[in-house]
Chain A
């Protein structure tokens, strides 16, 4: 039988080809809030053209572009957040992988006219391969060494783009790249790009959520907490960390691919600047440490706050933004997600409830 349904412990379990299993909790209180959040996330952007531009100081077009950028940041931040959980190391060079993915898409499309679908696969594969080459660092390098190595990588790429400006275009970038879609109407295009990026974020979010709720969620959680304990459980932590680093590097490359085909040009030096690193890191930390949904909230919050501040303050906007973020880091140790859900232990740990009489 291709598909088999089963009802067990208040869950509908779908067995697919007797190999894969999907569970869906029947109890409404478990899916009510996610459903409401998803509904708002999909529908609020539809109201943007009807919103007076003076409300938060941003016009409808600029607001849609901001939400698209928030999705781009969210893709990288989700991958980065998952990478941090699974490797127990904080990567300070996520933008290196974003830009690598962007350059792969830009060069393939510009030089060889490769279709965006193929550039998507290429960006993912090549950044994942670079991730694979670098992944032993998650085992060998600890603490400050891992931090420094990952911090230096974007700088190397930055200098490389200047050295080979004939290929990478340095500050001018690579123009004339095919856009994902062009309807002729700016607003329609923006909506299509918003919902495309939204779908990418949603898929990544669901996949990570599914992993974290499975056996692998436990395994990654224990690696994150104490590597010695993980080893004493018989886990090959080196292999797990390398796999996580490789795949998440590829996912970061996807956000570079999207940037390239959204703007129709790619200037790596812009995305290699420190603001990109700060936005990615703060999205996961300020969104909620280890809370994967909080990472998306964090990305939206930071990008929107920057645009609002820009519209009112202009030159001092970024200065004020960083000060606000600094204060919030102090005030919200559990992040924005922590405001929604205060739990005693970390969110990424799946909880087990067993009924047994004592």
Chain B
């Protein structure tokens, strides 16, 4: 479904993503992990079109989307969530999801009214279990519910492929477990392909089928989770070479 070929992105003298290649199959759930500053979010930004790559290609469903804008990629079915939840604080939970429905292609195609868009937004809020919070202003929501809201909003775009950027950050174990179950359920119910970016592998270990590990802008490992935890390169990247010698 998604093919990334030799993608490189530099910021001044720093190479944030260096010659990264990746293939993700339809309906697959892939974990993208790596220490802080390893280039995970930059890669998400490159795939979603928020950044333009210095070199390399992004191919989605056989179409070269490297030159396409982020909004055009959304229309092709690529959605994302943000590492720090980006919601419109002055708006209610419902209105935040309504925005996504209104921005979507089907709103125009089906000539939907605002009320119909609202009803559809309620459906997505119901899925992530936020229906009862629909009239609460987003600035009053705790981080857990903000994460759920971002997922509801991404779903409202009717995507085929979602990139979830550190959805577990700031959550307690119970909340993290709920989010993990929800992401798994969304894949089943909506037939989604998911790239799940996390800082720590342990959190997503049970949920993902394959793990891609990045360090210093490069892919250092790619395999099933139980192989990855034993991979010496991965251990070095996380705890450092000196610590391994000790």
Contacts and interface: CB of A to CB of B under 8 A. Distances in A.
Interface in A218-260: 218-219, 221-222, 225-226, 228-238
Contacts of B80: 232
B88 interface: yes
A210 B75 CA distance: 27
B102 interface: yes
Interface string B119-156: 10110000000011000010000000000000001100
B50 A236 contact: no
A236 B107 CA distance: 15
Q: Which of A219, A231, A344 has the most CB of B within 10 A?
A: A231
A234 B104 contact: yes
Nearest to B90: A345
A356 B119 contact: yes
A147 to B, nearest CB: 23
Given A234-B74, A351-B95, A352-B98, A358 B132 contact: yes
A228 B137 contact: no
A346 B91 CA distance: 8
Nearest to A239: B71
Contacts of B50: 228, 231
Interface in B39-86: 48-50, 69-72, 74-75, 79-80, 82, 86
B35 interface: no
A218 B114 CA distance: 10
B103 interface: yes
Interface in A234-289: 234-238
Q: Is the interface of A mostly helix, strand, loop or mixed?
A: loop
Contact of B103 (A219, A225, A351): A219
B86 A352 contact: no
Contacts, number: 98
Question: Which range holds the interface residue count of chain A?
Answer: 20 to 34
B105 to A, nearest CB: 7
B157 interface: yes
B107 A215 contact: yes
B102 A218 contact: yes
Q: Which of B88, B132, B157 has the most CB of A within 10 A?
A: B88
Interface of B: 48-50, 69-72, 74-75, 79-80, 82, 86-92, 94-95, 98-100, 102-105, 107, 114-115, 117-119, 121-122, 131-132, 137, 153-154, 157
Given A231-B71, A233-B100, A352-B95, 17 more contacts: A218-B98, A221-B88, A225-B88, A226-B86, A228-B86, A231-B70, A232-B79, A233-B99, A234-B103, A236-B69, A236-B72, A344-B137, A345-B90, A345-B92, A349-B90, A353-B118, A354-B122
